[in-house]
Amino acid sequence: MEDIGHFIGGKRVAGTSGRAQDVLQPMDGSVRGKVALASAQEVRQAVENAKNAQPKWAATNPQRRVRVLMKFLELVHKEYDELAELLAREHGKTIPDAKGDIQRGLEVVEVCIGAPHMMKGEYTEGAGPGIDVYSMRQPLGVVAGITPFNFPAMIPLWKIAPAIASGNAFVLKPSERDPGVPMRIAELFIEAGLPEGILNVVNGDKEAVDALLDDPDIQAVGFVGSTPIAQYIYGRATANGKRAQCFGGAKNHLIVMPDADMDQTVDALIGAGYGSAGERCMAVSVAVPVGQETADRLVEKLIPRVESLKVGPSTDASADFGPLVTKEALERVKNYVDLGVEEGAKLRVDGRGFKMQGYENGYYMGGCLFDEVTPDMRIYKEEIFGPVLSVVRADTYDEALALPNDHEYGNGVAIFTRDGDAARDFAARVDVGMVGVNVPIPVPIAYYTFGGWKASHFGDLNQHGADAFRFYTKTKTVTSRWPSGIKDGAEFAIPTMR
C-alpha cells in the first residue's frame, strides 16, 4: 500500500490535511494505496512555490526551456512500459490503450519544443516617422490545470508542456482516482532539469479545486471533465478575473451513408464506441445510419461483433477493453441501460451480466448495443460514458445532419461515405468542433488545436497547437521612437502615424 501525498517544491511531500481517499485497482477492486486530499493551505503552499520560482524561469531563454522538454521525452521513453502498467492498473484501461494515452501526451510535448518559434512576436520598422512597433509574448505567471481520470497522462501533458515552455509555473490538480502517473510525470520533469517549483502537483477534491479557482496568484485555469463541472469552474474562474478554458461532455455521432464501406464502418464503430470501455470524451456513442436498409445492414453486422468483444483485466494485452474506473461508474452505466430499456429502445446486446472469472470484484461490463433509439430518450440526450452504443435511424441525410446539429453537445462527429460531395457538405454544415471523414475519432494531431463547441467547451481558446501558446501568454506591444526623430514641443492631439 502506497501513500501518495503531493509534489511541491520539486519533491514529494506528505499530505497534512488529515483527509485521504483510497486508490483502487479497477480490474480486481483491490486497494492500491491512499491519496491525500489537499487543504486550501496546502494548495496555497504549492502556489507560493510556483510564484517564487516563476520569474527566474520566465527569464530563461526559450531554447533552454525546451531542452528540459527534450530531456523529459528521453526519460519517459526509458520507462514507457512501467508508466503504462501503472496507468492501466490505476485507471483500468488495457496496457496498449495506456501506451496510447501516454503517446498522445508526448506528441504535444514534441510540438512544444517549437516554443521559441511560437513565442516570437511581430516587428514593423518605420510604422510612422521615426517610429518602430513590435510585440512580444510573455508568460502569464502561475497557471493551473484540473484534469480528469480517463486520460491521466495525456491531458496533464497537454496542459503542462505549453504552459512551462511559455515560461509559466504550473500547478496541477489531477484526478484523485488515478494520481500515480501525474506524480511520476512531475518527478521526471525535475530529473530532466526543470527548476523546483515550476511544476507542482496537489491531489485533492473540491476543496483543492476551489482553492485554485479563488487564489489571486493563479492567472489561468484549464479543465477537462463533465459539462456541469466545466460550467462551474469556468464561471468561478472568470468571476475571479482568470482566463479559463473548460472542456465538458460529449455525445459523438457517426453518420453512416448508404454508400459507406460497411465492414470499415463497423470496425470503426467497434473501436471508437467500446475502446477504453467507452470512457473517452471522443468515444462514438451514437451511430446514425441513413435509410432503413442501411440501418438493417449495420445492426446485423454490429450484433455479432459486440457480442464477441473480449473484456479482460488491464494486464491482458489481448483484451479489447478493461473494467470501468469505479464501482459507482459501473452502476451508473448499468442504470442508463436499464433506463434505455424502460424508454423503449431495443437492447440488441446486453452486457450488464458480464462477470470476469477470477476478477469477480472488478468493475466489468460487457458491450451493450441499442437500436431504434429516438432523440427524446435520455440515453440519447445524456453522456453515458460507458461501453454502450445507440443506433438512431434517420430516413434522409438532412435528418441525420440535424441530429448532431441540434444536440446539446458539439465535441466530435464523423461521417462514413464514399461520396466526396456529401463529406464536403457535411464538414461545412455540421455544428460540431471536430469532424472526421471516414475517421471515427477525429482528435487532431498535436500541432492543430483540440476543442468542441456548444456545451462541450467553455472559453475562447482550444487545447494544444497554436491556441495553447495564445492561452498561456499575454501580448505586449511596444511603440518606439528615439530622440533623433522627436520634434520639439508638446503634442496634444492623439498620436497618429501620419
- Residues 260, 239 share a domain: no
Q: Which domain holds residue 110?
A: 2-248
Q: Would 461 be classed as within a structural domain?
A: no
Find out whether 134 and 118 touch, Cβ atoms under 8 Å.
Answer: no
- Write the DSSP symbol of residue 483: G
Instruction: State the pLDDT at residue 61.
Output: 95
Instruction: Compute the distance between CA of residue 444 and CA of residue 464 in angstroms, rounded to an integer.
Output: 9
- Residues 257, 236 share a domain: no
Instruction: State the pLDDT at residue 348.
Output: 98
Instruction: Compute the distance between CA of residue 142 and CA of residue 414 in angstroms, rounded to an integer.
Output: 37
Question: For the segment 190-233, what is each residue's pLDDT rounded down to a tens digit?
Answer: 999 999 999 999 999 999 999 999 999 999 999 999 999 999 99
- What CATH number does the domain containing 290 carry? 3.40.309.10
Task: Print burial letters for 341-365: b (CB count within 10 Å at least 16), e (below 16).
Answer: eeeebebbbbbeeeebeebeebbbb
- Report residues of the chain scoring pLDDT below 70: 485-488, 497-498
Whole-number mean pLDDT of the chain?
96
Q: Read out DSSP for 445-469?
A: PTTS-B--EETTEESS--BSTHHHH
Q: Would 150 be classed as within a structural domain?
A: yes
What is the number of structural domains in the chain? 2
- Residues 288, 241 share a domain: no
Question: For the segment 337-382, what is each residue's pLDDT rounded down to a tens digit?
Answer: 999 999 999 999 999 999 999 999 999 999 999 999 999 999 999 9
Instruction: State the pLDDT at residue 2.
Output: 87
Question: For the segment 72-109, what is each residue's pLDDT rounded down to a tens digit?
Answer: 999 999 999 999 999 999 999 999 999 999 999 999 99
Quick count: other Cβ atoms within 10 Å of Cβ 213?
A: 23
- Amino acid, single-letter form, for residue 57: W
- Residues 407, 268 share a domain: yes
H helix or E strand, kind and range, residue 475 = strand 473-481
User: In the block, which residue shows the cell 436498409?
Assistant: 293
- Residues 227, 295 share a domain: no
Instruction: State the pLDDT at residue 179.
Output: 98
- Residues 399, 368 share a domain: yes
Instruction: Compute the distance between CA of residue 412 and CA of residue 440 in angstroms, rounded to an integer.
Output: 9
- What CATH number does the domain containing 95 carry? 3.40.605.10
Q: Which of these three, 226, 248, 270, is where a domain ends?
A: 248
Q: CA 240 from chain center: how many Å?
A: 24
Q: Is the dihedral of CA 464, 469, 473, 479 positive or negative?
A: negative
| Whole-prediction pTM | 0.95
Maximum Cα–Cα distance across the chain:
90
- Residues 214, 129 share a domain: yes
Q: Please indicate whether residue 281 is annotated as part of the active site.
A: yes
Instruction: State the pLDDT at residue 56.
Output: 98
- Residues 359, 388 share a domain: yes
Instruction: State the pLDDT at residue 472.
Output: 98
